[in-house]
Amino acid sequence: MASTSKDNAPISVQDENTPDELEPGACPESILNPTDSFEEFASEMSSSLQERNALTTKSSTISEIQSEIGEEKDAQMKTTKSADDLQSKDGSISASASSSNLTEENGDDTDNAPENYLHSPELINKEKHVFILSSAGKPIYSRYGNEDKLAGLCGVIQALVSVVEEQNQDILRSITTKDCKAVFLVKGPLILVAVSKSNESETQLVLQLTYAFNQIVSVLTLTQLNRIFEQRRNYDLRRLLSGAERLIDHLLIFMEKDPAFLLGAVRCLPLPEKARENITNAITTTCHKIRDLVFAIMIAGNQLITLVRMKKYTLHPSDIHLLFNLVRSSESFKTAESWTPICLPKFDATGFLHGHVSYIAEDCQACLLLLTVQRDAFFPLSQAKHTIAEKMRRSNCLVAINDALNRHRDLPTTNPLKHIGIPEIRHFMYKCKSTAQLFTSDPISLDRLQDYRMRHKEGGDIVEKPIKKLSDIDYVRNYRQFCSQIHCTSIPAKLIFRSNAQDTILAWVTNGFELYVTFDALMEKDQAIKAVDRLLWWIKKEEQRIFIMNAPTF
């Protein structure tokens, strides 16, 4: 049973022993915006119907940057921005062609008896469903099965949501049955629903739905999404999203497995301090004269290598997660340099940035994203990328990245538990709150994700078979409930210690960090606290390698 204690005994222990008063990973300035996603979603959950309907669009950061870059360019930029719309220049959604197409697509809806479809093998026995529909009740996305055949279900969902709104002047948030939770989220013109049998809390599910919504915004921008439905309430959004369903599919899997989502933090690729510095320098020296460049981001294997930014601007972890997801789901980036519009919802939901996306070299799977406000900047950025890659090769950075990615035996971060030398610790994850960065003892590798999907039969079916050796993913599943207790808005816990015959889990949050540790079964509390202390000492010692400890600008 979970025993919750708010005594700060362990905090005093920490004060004596950690080498520095700053928590591991903390630094004066952060590249990431450390907003806690839980706080944000808690506010999402508590907003009233009026507040939600008055959802205002913030001023555009992109326009701000554009006007800062230069006056003479400004006029041209403005037109550029409006031309970024998906619609033809006259501003209307190519109406005639689309409507004719629409009727075609929906023609065969009536063929199948919808009640039977809900019981088909494609849909039953799934751990978690996600449905997205328009507020008019038109299906947009279903995680499993064919959303075309779910028109009936979507109608029911839409009716439920609107009855609560219209008759009770309230918001339908969730429905709970014995073994299943349905969570509803209305965002702009969309309704998102998760139906889950997992141990995720309502807040965690809302968080996932919000991510799914942001993924759609990232492809279309909020401005367009709203305008499309203002013009045609009945629009079939699948037309514009075609090809992007894959992004939502991947995102949903990713969110279930990677603690980065659970904690609202970003994992960095552990690198020697010098190597990271060289990479950052390669970028800043090459790009400091490119005025419209807003962010240069290098990532590998869902980990951040470096982020260089325009002064004043930082990125929200959730925007970075969407970039991770985009890169991970798009094999096509590997074959050639790409140029694509990208909207980062937290940065500016109203407009597109333009991204030059490419892998550094054939022999190095690090991906560089150069994000600009200038839609014609492909060629200078392409040039810049080649210069950066060349500089990195000359300073041996490619080798350093490859060693980290291949988890070279000699690196202390490859097998941290062995290095720390506390045999009782099976697994840990640590988040530095002020920089929104994360480190875990056993980073999930991509092949591991693959294994997991196979074990869970790719289709997300519930599998009863007990798991023999736990992986990062399984530990993270176990932490979920502790995480919700710690982030619970009414009575948040500071320290949770639970010991039983299976394992011992300690979850601890301070102003500076969050830490989750799994120990062997039946550990004593004192012993656990001593071990945690050593653990923190080790993280502090390795912090320069594990975390990005500065916030470079162009």
Q: Does 337 bind another protein (CB under 8 A)?
A: yes
192, 193, 240, 296: which one contacts another protein (CB under 8 A)?
A: 240
Alpha helices per DSSP H over 258-333? 259-263, 273-287, 317-329
Q: What is the spatial distance between Cα 476 and Cα 449, in angstroms, rounded to a whole number? A: 13
451 binds another protein (CB under 8 A): no
Pick 83 or 163: Cβ nearer another protein: 83
- Distances in Å between the alpha carbon of 237 and those of 68, 130, 221? 35, 16, 13
Helix (H, G, I), strand (E, B) or coil at 458: coil
- Among 64, 85, 424, 520, contact with another protein (rule: CB under 8 A): 85
Enumerate residues 6+ apart whose C-beta is below 8 A from 314.
Answer: 30, 31, 32, 33, 551
Q: Is 77 in the site for another protein (CB under 8 A)?
A: no
Q: Nearer to another protein by C-beta: 46 or 88?
A: 88
Q: Fill in the amino acid letter for 506.
A: L
Task: Return the range that interacts with another protein (CB under 8 A); candidates 148-156, 281-289, 299-307, 325-333.
Answer: 325-333
Integer Cα distance of 181 and 195 in angstroms: 6
Instruction: State yes or no: residue 456 binds another protein (CB under 8 A).
Output: no
Closer to another protein by Cβ: residue 378 or 537:
378
Binding mask 388-427 for another protein (x = CB under 8 A): ----------------------------------------
Residue 43 makes contact with another protein by CB under 8 A: no
Question: Of 217 and 496, which has the nearer Cβ to another protein?
Answer: 217
**Of residues 21 and 72, the one with the C-beta less far from another protein:** 72
Residue (352 or 508) nearer to another protein, CB: 352
Q: In whole angstroms, what is the distance from residue 15 CA to residue 25 CA?
A: 16
> What DSSP string runs through 65-100?
HHHHH-HHHHHHHHHHHHHTSSS-TTSS--HHHHHH
Using CA atoms, how far apart are residues 386 and 392, in angstroms rounded to an integer?
Answer: 10
Q: Which of 184, 261, 324, 333 binds another protein (CB under 8 A)?
A: 333
> Does 340 interact with another protein (rule: CB under 8 A)?
yes
Place of tokens 């309704």: 191
CB proximity list for 200: less than 8 A, separation 6 or greater: 128, 208, 480
Sign of CA dihedral 139, 228, 372, 263: negative
Min CB(330)–another protein separation in Å = 5
173 lies in the site for another protein, by CB under 8 A: no
Radius of gyration of the chain (CA): 24
| Six token digits for residue 147 | 């959303």
- Near another protein by CB under 8 A: residue from 9, 11, 55, 95: 95
Span of 96-104, 401-409, 429-437, 522-530 interacting with another protein by CB under 8 A: 96-104
Phi, psi (deg, nearest 5) at residue 469: -105, 125
Written as six digits, the tokens of 196 are 């889950």
| Per-residue contact flags (x/-) with another protein for residues 186 to 225, judged by CB under 8 A | ---------------------------------xx-----
CA 57/CA 60 separation, integer angstroms: 8
CA nearest to 373, candidates 42, 66, 137: 66
For residue 245, the minimal CB distance to another protein (Å) is: 11
- Choose between 240 and 266: whose C-beta lies nearer to another protein: 240
Q: For the window 358-387, what string marks contact with another protein as x by the rule CB under 8 A?
A: -----------------xxxxxx-xx----
Contact 115, 100 (CB under 8 A): no
- Give the residue with the Cβ less far from another protein, 339 or 452: 339
CB of 31 or CB of 220, closer to another protein: 220
Binds another protein by CB under 8 A, chosen from 110, 242, 490, 511: 242
Spatial CA neighbour of 310 closest among 356, 385, 373, 354: 373
Contacts with another protein, residue ranges (CB under 8 A): 83-90, 94-98, 219-220, 239-244, 246, 326, 329-333, 335-341, 355, 357, 375-380, 382-383
